[in-house]
Structure 1
């Protein structure tokens, strides 16, 4: 056999080996990022969906069309809780959310739109699409509710963070899957014909071996002429499952911190839960509500109404023990620091028509010396 025949024969063998499916494609680990972002956004969305939005004028709540749309039924297809969860989801994922009002007063969340920026006049929005329906009109900034999350898209920050965590997570998963992996080789008789039929037989043989060893506790596979199967022992020291969880939780912690969610809360830790929850409401939920409240104030109240005392207010969910609240309220009222209406506002309760709540009361134990109010030492006749 000449040199040319030798090279040609070696090339045929290489061709044969490259055609055999020996390596399984590594799965994408993008679910790590999706799970972390979805966990955090769902928590924020569920919390804000429990908020009540209302317009207050002096001591009464105005229950008008806006009150119904913001708290009961924003549109024909969504409840208020689902509506606000969707708003928060788009606001975090896309850094912005556009809400338009249809001719029937329905509040609709835009799936996509084009914003036209103008330096001296209000911006406009066109090509607005809601659930596949495109509006053939231009919306003015004054006629829509437009929310922005931050100056920088959090999605870009998370993508750059995930590039490191995702690679590490993927490598650990691969090592874990290869622990106690069955490793084998198939020796092919070089005298066999390098035809497509031979390649098909070899591939079929490998597939049967893989299926037998993967699905059966006891697998007996007959040897074929020209094909010799040999198994090698793997001594790889793989990472444990706890290492996988550490990387996964580490990325989740970074996402939670970027959104203002305390790490113990996202993991369900019960230690000092009251303090952690208060921090979550103060530094994560309240900024979201402030953005929504400011935008609603601008778009629903004109200057004259605002100067007349009308305000957009929110009554968010709060973590508090009713007995602790009652004790604190009693001290604030009895010391003259707050009247009844102010305390009811802080507790999220509607104002009362009782004139007693307009007064500031100071009980005897808070009065000092000569200014103390006398009386009550004995029953009057």
Structure 2
């Protein structure tokens, strides 16, 4: 709506009017909530996607079809990192995730499905949809990977927080924009407003003047007879830091709900190792435990599991191997652990070197049995 339209519309009937078109409803700033959730979920997804999934039989990692599917190519359209990114997003955002196996051994994450629960029988999954394809067949719980997040209150918590923080954020942002807005009044003689041709010329002149004021550092407004331009901008200052405090406050609450130290999502470097350790312990390990339990029950037979077969998930380490050198030396040289036990604890494969299966002691790495016998074997 042009500025002069207010004066030309029913000008002869009223002196002042308020046009509803000038009032704009502030839209919900949903991006504010999405940004906080995406920041936290992406951090968890990036961490888990770097993990290595493997099955160990008698301590030996099996490089088989399962290893390839979990770490390289779960299906023909996704890499392993893309697969696990989507897995984490579905798990946290939807509070559950369903993985089905096709006849070609592809692993697919369902976009939508319906679940019928039973007490004494397998749950049944119907209308399983992946992208734009809906399977006609039904799936039993014993044939799929189904992991609930069991945190239904998370969405309710985030929505409740957003209702308060979002309103406060919107008010602060509007206040900031209001204080920096350029406002002006234009006085015209009544004759100009009644003359349609003159009104059109004045409207075009005002439009060009507005664009000049908005885009140019210096704008000169020529004075016209019967036309007065007066700027009445509010130059009161508002702190952007106050807006940032609101956004960080909401982000902190979402991060804590997902087991992430707030300092980590804000990128603070102070005590980053401690924050990372807490994140891995309280944010990543619980999710990995859910994955390990469900996958173990579906990919390892009961007898094999009781015989020692295990699903091992080697998550990314937040410490460099060389940072552990002193601790490894103490563990091995004190005879508390063998070399292979330390290797497995650090996430590395079992070595065939027989020396790494022996308990050794002292700086000279003497075998414990020889030391007791009074020997000095290096």
Pairwise same-fold verdict (TM > 0.5): yes
Name the TM-score class by shorter chain: 0.7 to 0.9
How far the C-alpha of 1:359 sits from its partner, in A, is 2.5
Provide the TM-score with structure 2 as the length reference. 0.86
- 1:93 and 1:154 in contact (8 A); partners too: no
How far the C-alpha of 1:234 sits from its partner, in A, is 1.9
Distance change >3 Å, CA 321–CA 151, structure 1 → 2: closer
C-alpha separation in 2, matches of 1:158 and 1:239: 28
C-alpha separation in 1, matches of 2:161 and 2:197: 49
1:322-360: CA deviations, max 9, x gaps?
334222122222222222222111011101122333332
How many equivalent residue pairs?
Answer: 366
C-alpha separation in 2, matches of 1:38 and 1:13: 52
Distance change >3 Å, CA 222–CA 319, structure 1 → 2: same
Equivalent residue, structure 1, for 2:3? none
C-alpha separation in 2, matches of 1:147 and 1:198: 71
Q: Matched residue of 1:136: which SS?
A: coil
Q: Does 1:18 pair with 2:23?
A: no
Deviates most, 333-342 or 107-116: 333-342
Q: Does 1:57 pair with 2:57?
A: yes
| Structure 1: runs of 5+ lacking an equivalent | 1-7
Distance change >3 Å, CA 294–CA 152, structure 1 → 2: same
How far the C-alpha of 1:48 sits from its partner, in A, is 0.6
What are the residue-to-residue correspondences of 1:361-376 with 2, within 5 Å?
Answer: 361-363=360-362, 373=372, 375=374
Distance change >3 Å, CA 352–CA 24, structure 1 → 2: same
Distance change >3 Å, CA 18–CA 209, structure 1 → 2: farther
C-alpha separation in 2, matches of 1:200 and 1:152: 59
Equivalent residue, structure 2, for 1:67? 67
C-alpha separation in 1, matches of 2:188 and 2:90: 57
1:28-50: CA deviations, max 9, x gaps?
42222111111111111111111
C-alpha separation in 2, matches of 1:150 and 1:14: 59
- 2:192 and 2:199 in contact (8 A); partners too: no
Q: Does 1:45 pair with 2:55?
A: no
Equivalent residue, structure 2, for 1:318? 317
Q: Matched residue of 1:178: which SS?
A: helix
Equivalent residue, structure 2, for 1:98? 98
Q: Matched residue of 1:218: which SS?
A: coil
1:62-95: CA deviations, max 9, x gaps?
2221111111100011111111111011111111
What are the residue-to-residue correspondences of 1:346-361 with 2, within 5 Å?
Answer: 346-361=345-360
C-alpha separation in 1, matches of 2:195 and 2:141: 70
Equivalent residue, structure 2, for 1:273? 272
How far the C-alpha of 1:317 sits from its partner, in A, is 0.7
C-alpha separation in 1, matches of 2:322 and 2:193: 87
C-alpha separation in 1, matches of 2:377 and 2:135: 77
1:241-295: CA deviations, max 9, x gaps?
2222211211111111111111222222222222221111111111111111111
- 2:193 and 2:199 in contact (8 A); partners too: no
Q: Matched residue of 1:81: which SS?
A: helix
Q: Does 1:290 pair with 2:289?
A: yes
- 1:188 and 1:227 in contact (8 A); partners too: yes
C-alpha separation in 2, matches of 1:299 and 1:196: 80
How far the C-alpha of 1:120 sits from its partner, in A, is 2.4
C-alpha separation in 1, matches of 2:343 and 2:60: 12
Equivalent residue, structure 1, for 2:260? 261
Q: Matched residue of 1:147: which SS?
A: strand
What are the residue-to-residue correspondences of 1:1-381 with 2, within 5 Å?
Answer: 12-13=14-15, 17-18=18-19, 22-23=22-23, 26=26, 28-187=28-187, 207-221=207-221, 228-236=228-236, 238-363=237-362, 373=372, 375=374
- 1:113 and 1:127 in contact (8 A); partners too: yes
